[in-house]
Chain A
Amino acid sequence: MLNNLIDNLKDPASYLYMLFAILAIGGGIVMLNSAKVVHMVASLAVTFISLAGLYLTLGAGFVAIVQVLISAGAVSILMIFGIKLTKHRHDGEDEREEAEKVGARSGHLHEILAAVGVLALFGVLYYAIRKASFPTAPAAEPVNTILATGKLLVSRYALPFEIMAVLLTAAFVGAIVIAKREEE
């Protein structure tokens, strides 16, 4: 993979790929390491926006716009509301006291086990990606992908699209009913 990248360094699109990939992974790493909950949400918003940039470089304009609207916009704001509506002891010393009370050792063991498992999973995935051979695709003709995706959504995939609308409505009505304050 790295050799391919170095071969393609002349291509400006690979610079874009590197920029967005570093932003995406950096957002994830900051999310794992930051102390405040709001910072975690903000760094993940950076990750979502850089993923939208990657979709744009892949020629998926519709998906990029939807990603910015829903993942980076709606879901991040929803999570910030969720944080503000619940109480958090993640600001500074309280968390440390809590960790000592619960027993920091078991927490560390848990984290190490999780890290080993996740790294093993990543190793398997990376090995599979390296081993797989992907036949070179025929050069796709440049089309207006936003227009084509929209047409596809209302013609060939109209039924899944409507079912998705019903699912969203049911989920949001259910969410409102669950979160509504119960009257005595």
Chain B
Amino acid sequence: MSGILSPYLTLGAILFCIGLFGALTKRNAIIVLLSIELMLNGVNLNLVAFSKMGVAPSLTGQVFSLFTITVAAAEAAVGVALLIALYRNKPTSDVSEMDELKH
């Protein structure tokens, strides 16, 4: 399995698309956050695969994927904190009911 890049890229694309579909259709805000996490992981797989068997293989791709994981963790923490703060104002976790800015 050394030197074949496209299966990894395809798997990354599949994971990205599953995450995108979940983020677009799920109505639970927590699951929307998790779907975004899944999309970021699909991108990470691409970075790691290219760092192993890309045109110019080097460890830089792995370092960049570490940075992506860190940003994803920060995003998840801030997202959950925002959801909990919102839950105090309006006890719901349904994204279709979070429409205060509309009115």
Q: Which residue of A lies closest to B7 (CB)?
A: A1
How many A-B Cβ pairs are below 8 Å? 232
Contact partners of A90 in chain B: CB under 8 A? 28
Partner among B6, B24, B70, B87 whose Cβ is within 8 Å of the Cβ of A168: B70
Number of residues on chain B facing chain A (CB within 8 A)? 73
Main secondary structure of the interface of A (DSSP, over half): helix
Which residues of the other chain, B, contact A117 by a CB distance below 8 angstroms? 24
When each residue 53-65 of chain A gets 1 if its CB lies under 8 Å from chain B and 0 otherwise, what string results? 0110111101100
Instruction: Give A63 to B51 CA distance when docked, in angstroms.
Output: 12
Interface membership of B74, Cβ < 8 A: yes
Given contact pairs A82-B30, A87-B91, A172-B74, A63 touches B11 in the complex (Cβ within 8 A):
no
Interface residues of A in 112-155 (CB under 8 A from B): 114-115, 117-119, 121-122, 125-126, 129-130, 134-140, 145, 148-149, 152-153
- Measured CB to CB, the residues of B under 8 A from A are 1-11, 13-22, 24-25, 28, 30-31, 33-35, 37-38, 41, 44-45, 48-49, 51-57, 59-60, 62-63, 65-67, 69-78, 80-85, 87-88, 91-94, 96
Beyond the given A66-B69, A138-B57, please list 4 additional residue pairs across the A-B interface where CB-CB is below 8 A: A28-B18, A82-B80, A90-B28, A115-B21
